[in-house]
Amino acid sequence: MVQVVENRTDLTARLVRTGPHPRLAGWDLAEVDVVGAEPVTGYADLLSGNVGQRLLLAVPSPLLADVAAGSVLRVRARLAAPGEAMAEKNPAPGTFAVEPPS
């Protein structure tokens, strides 16, 4: 079994679409286009390499309630397993925001 190191990255991403996560109750699986990434001090940065790419991101469902496609998400996320990114379940103030489509 592969173990992922403790990691965090602040992502900026445009929401393409979202739906219920196939395995995690209370989570959505968001398809996003990553437009920016910043490392988080004290953590490995394993997601910055996704800038300019499409990424599947697990996000707690309440955070995406009524969020429209085209919205920009600013989210602290981690690589949970190879190919599986996850937003923080209980984001600290300033680590999750949504900007409506322009």
pLDDT tens digits, 89-98: 999 999 999 9
The CATH fold of domain 9-87: OB fold (Dihydrolipoamide Acetyltransferase, E2P) (2.40.50)
Radius of gyration of the chain (CA): 13
Q: Strands of the chain (E only): list them.
A: 9-20, 27-39, 54-60, 72-81, 84-87, 96-99
Above 90 in pLDDT, residue 86?
yes
* CA atoms within 13 A of residue 86's CA, in its CB half-sphere: 17
Whole-structure pTM over 0.85, yes or no? yes
Q: What is the rounded average pLDDT of the residues 33-60? A: 97
Domain boundaries, the chain: 9-87
